[in-house]
Structure formats: structure tokens, C-alpha cells
Amino acid sequence: MVVPELKAWRAARPHVVRIKRTVQPHVTRVAQAVQPRVTRAARSVRPHVVRAAQAVRPRSVKFTTPQLTAVAATAGLALAAGAVAFAGPWDSSGQRTAERDWAASRDGEGGADHGRSSVTSPAAPKPAPSAASVLTGLGGSIVSVPAPTQKALTSTLDRLLGDPALGGRRTAVVVDVATGKRLYGKGADDAQIPASTTKIATAVAALSAAGADHRIETRAVLEPGTKEVVLVGGGDPTLTARKKAAGWASLRTLADETATALKARHLNQVTLSYDTSLYTGSALHPIGTNPNLAPVSALMVDEARTDDSASGPVTRAADPAAEAAGKFAELLEAKGIKTTTPGLSRATNRSQSLASVSSPPLSALIERMLTNSDNDIAEAMARQVALATGRPADFDGGAAAIDAELKELGLPLSGAHFTDGSGLNRDDRLTADLLTALLVKAGDPAHPELRPILTGLPVAGFTGTLSDRYADDASGTGLVRAKTGTLTGVNTLAGTVVDADGRLLAFAFLASDTSDPSAAQSALDRTASALAGCGCR
């Protein structure tokens, strides 16, 4: 049985992460000292948020106690985050260190925010089960809450989906997550361009095929009998060369450990090469050079961004692997290891390991991908599916692997067509029926490895690609959690919402031939908000 996530403070975690990253994350373990402060801060702000929500909500919308609690908790945690960050102790993942340790002591039950920290120990909880409790807070009470009726939903949604801003083609499905029953359908089986909602399918396939606790390794190896050091890419686009790694795999750490290993071998001058052979095929997406996606390579740092940004469009390095190897050479030089200009090579099976770093678990990468609609991670995840299923790690292999993995899970693939992992390709096709089925599968207790899909969805008005939406539609703020999708003439939204009675619903809205993206987004937001305010019986 799947029940709604009422502990909405979990929904605010990505927002808190953004705030806390401005604070030095090195403090000691004082969870018992921090917890009362957090509790007092949340309790003090909640009444004000509730009153504000009641004052601004439209007269036609009736917030229920669970919904007001959800919004108050989400907003309260966001407002208190500054004080909490200084109170500490925060680790690089945004999870309080002592909370993680407490969770680890609970017989491995989980609770470490999907294990986002690159620091692991045998006692640490496994990443996927840490999210399992998110959807199990109500026990069996959900079955006593009535689900919306098809007739009432049709009356409400047909009017909203008829908005001319949604273009000439629009499809929609609403499903009761607890039962899997479809409550509303409009062109449910009509395949449309899904844009970035494709990432939901990519996420399901990656977590299913590779596993939520899978980590991507970047290595430095020494070819025996030579002085050749090879930097071997494992396909981690989140590998970072920044001084503050923020929990992601660090190229600086890899260089430090490599230098130490070389000095132990009395080597202070080497030939430096780099290996990108894990991926095959073209590195360039069919859309061509684009600020939304770097050339796809098994070796890159900071998604080949040419500034300090972590998300959004920006100019990318033309050759991510060469750039990464160049930075690695600089870091080795700083540690007293002289190198040649890096050149492309391939590590042999006789190579000796010098050092390695690993990404956070795939669950953390999936959450970041969904929250920020990160195209670089999405294409990397498609290739991880291909590698896990024995297919070539290129665009075609990744697309075929996603399709095959979803078929293995018994999902409705009629009309679906995958060409990439990100949804940037306009040849992609998905149905509203498939998108809601993916969300329902992610909430299935039989598939706890898929839970990061639900926890990674942006929260309306708070996180990721929904942080600047819902400003003119407060009724959905903090209640709608959804993946956005936007291409020229295409606007989509798919996610979950708790209705006025506390029922968890999954929805997918796809609109094509739209002419005003802002108006189309607002129309989709209003439609999702209507579900939040709807008992609809």
C-alpha cells in the first residue's frame, strides 16, 4: 500500500541544501543540542505560515489540516535553515552528521538522505531504504480516505485543460497511487513529445538496472613497466574540481592520492594520459552544441561548465575529457608531480591502481537530476542503464536499454519511443499513461530502490525547476511535487500531489503546439493546484 508523504519537511531538504552550502560545513557532532533548536524554530514559524496561507488562499480552495501542516513545515524549515546551518552539524550532503549516525545505529534501517556523502562506512545505512519511510507515515489510514470520483475530476479538469494556452494537443492522466486506479484520462494513450519529463523514465530505468546504491568510479592507474599514468573516466558528470566538493567525488582528492602513490614509487615525473573508452559513439547530442548539455563523455569535471554554476544553461567546454585531464595535470603539478601534456589513451587490463574516487550513490544523482532537470546527469544515467544491461554506452544503446528495462518492469510502453535520456530530442515520445505508471511504480513498496524519484521531484514554489513557479497560484505551493518539461511549443508537468482529503495522486499533463511557454506553464500549474484543492466527489 502506498500512502502520501505527510512529513513535508523532507520535501524541503533540497531547499535547505542550497542555503546551507553558504556555510562552512565542518562542525562537530551535536545532534542532541541542535534538535531542540530546530524544533523551536519550526514551531515558532508554523502558526505564522498557517495564518498567511489562510489569508492568501483563493476562496474556492479549502486547505485541509494535513495540507496546511505540509506547507507550514516546508516553509518553516526553509525560513529556519539559516539559523540551523550555523547551529550545525552539517555534512556535505545537507543531512546533519549526527542524524546520519543516529540512523546508522538503527540496525541499518536507512535515513541518511540516500547516502549523498562520498564518505561511507560499513555501519552507514544503505541509500535506497533510507527513503522508504517517506511514504509509509499513515499506515493503513489511507484506505479510509475517499478517492476523487471520475465524474468530479472530469468536471474540474476538462475545464482547466481546455485553456487555449495549452495549445492544440493536450493529454492528461490522474491516478490514485494507493490503488493504481486511473481516475481521469484524456488522450491517455496518445504519445506526445515529453520534453524533460523523459527524465522520470530514465530515472526508473537507472535505479532498476544499476541499483540505487551504485557508485560511479573515476580512477588513476599506472601502466606497469612505464611512467604512464592514465586517468580513467567512469561516467560521473558530477566529479568536481572545486575546492569544496560538497559531497561529490573530488578530482582534487584523486590528484592528492595519486601524487602520494607515485611518490611512494619514487616517481615524480610521469606521462599523463586519459581514457574515455567506456562510452562509444558520438559525444554530441542530435540537437548539436547547446548550453543545456555538454558533449557526453565518460570523463568530465563539473559537467564541463565554464563558470561556477551547478545547474542551468551555460557555455560548455568543447572537449570535456581533455579539460578534465588538464585540470588533473595542474593538480598533480601542485603536489610536486611533473606531467606531460595529457593525451588520449586506453588503460590496459594490466594497469596498477594508484587511486580512485567514487560518486555518491545513484539515488543522490537521480535526485539532483530530477530537481534541477540536469541533462548531463540524465545522459550519464542512460549510459549507466546501457552498461548495466550489456549494451553499447551511446545514445542508441542508452535509449534501447531504457526501453528494455521499463518493459521488464511491466510498464505500459505502447507508443513510447526513446532516443536519449534527457528529453532534449524532439523525437522522444511518451504517453501520460506511462508517466503516471512510472510514478506509481516509484511509490510501490515492492520497489524501494525507486523512491528517490518521488523525493527528487521539485516542490512547487520551493525547489529546483518549480522554485520560481506558483507565485500567482499559492494554492499549490508546497503541495505539488512535479517534473517539468519545456521545449519550443511543448510544455509538460508530471508528478504527485496530496488532495484535500489526504489522498496521494499521480498526474501527467502534456501539451503540444503551445505558443506562449509562460502562459502554458501557468495553465499546467493551475491544473495541478486544482488537484491539491480537490476532494472531487
List, for residues 457-508, the tens digit of each pLDDT value: 999 999 999 999 987 767 889 999 999 999 999 999 999 999 988 899 999 9
Give the other-Cβ count within 10 Å of 410's Cβ: 9
What's the rounded mean pLDDT across residues 355-378?
Answer: 98
Per-residue pLDDT band at 65 (split at 50, 70, 90): low
Residues 265-314 pLDDT 10s: 999 999 999 999 999 999 999 999 999 999 999 999 999 999 999 999 99
Mean pLDDT score across all residues of the chain: 81
Q: Nearest to residue 452, comparing CAs of 172, 199, 77, 182?
A: 199
Whether residue 57 is predicted with pLDDT greater than 70 in this model: the reply is no
DSSP class of 295? P
Catalytic positions, written as ranges: 196, 199, 373
- pLDDT of res. 3: 37
Q: How confident is the model at residue 426 (pLDDT cuts 50, 70, 90)?
A: very high
Lowest mean pLDDT segment, chosen from 120-124, 305-309, 325-329, 360-364? 120-124
| Least confident residue range of 74-88, 244-258, 333-347 | 74-88
Average pLDDT (65-89) is: 44
pLDDT at 103: 37
Who's near 6: CB < 8 A, 6+ residues apart?
66, 69, 70, 137, 138, 498, 502
Residue 445: is the preceding peptide bond cis (ω within 30°)?
no
pLDDT at 59 over 80: no
Asked if residue 249 has pLDDT above 90, the reply is yes
Tell me how far apart the alpha carbons of residues 5 and 473 are, in angstroms, rounded to a whole number.
22
pLDDT given for residue 494 in this prediction: 98
Q: Report cis status (omega within 30 of 0) of the bond before 89.
A: yes
β-pairing verdict for 269-275 and 228-232: parallel
Give me the pLDDT at residue 83, please: 34
3-state DSSP of 351-395:
CEEEEEEECCCHHHHHHHHHHHCCHHHHHHHHHHHHHHCCCCCCH
Q: Which grid coordinates belong to 497? A: 500531489
Among 225-234, 408-417, 448-457, 472-481, the minimum mean pLDDT is found in: 472-481
* Predicted local confidence at residue 518, as pLDDT: 95
- Rounded Cα distance between 325 and 498, Å, is 47
Q: Which residue has the higher pLDDT, 57 or 28?
A: 57
Per-residue pLDDT, 110: 32
Least confident of 78-82, 186-190, 220-224: 78-82
Confidence grade of residue 124 (pLDDT, cut at 50, 70, 90): very low
Top-confidence residue, 114 or 154: 154
pLDDT (0 to 100) of residue 26: 37
- Which residue has better confidence, 195 or 134? 195
Residue 1 reports pLDDT greater than 50: no
Q: Which residue has the cell 551555460?
A: 314
Q: Which residues of 13-43 are buried (b: 16+ CB within 10 A; e: fewer)?
A: bbbbbbbbbeeebebebebeebeeebeebbe
Mean pLDDT score, 210-233: 97
Query: What band does 63 get if pLDDT is binned at 50, 70 and 90?
Result: low
Count of CB atoms situated within 10 Å of the CB of 51: 12
Note the residue count of the chain: 537
Q: What is the mean pLDDT of residues 141-159?
A: 82
Which three cell numbers mark 372? 534541477
Q: Is the pLDDT of residue 509 over 90?
A: yes
Q: Is the pLDDT of residue 73 over 50?
A: no
Mean pLDDT for 185-204 is: 98
**What's the average model confidence in pLDDT over 225-252?**
97
E strand or H helix that includes residue 220: strand 217-222
pLDDT over 90 at 357, yes or no:
yes
Taking residues 166-179, report their average pLDDT: 95
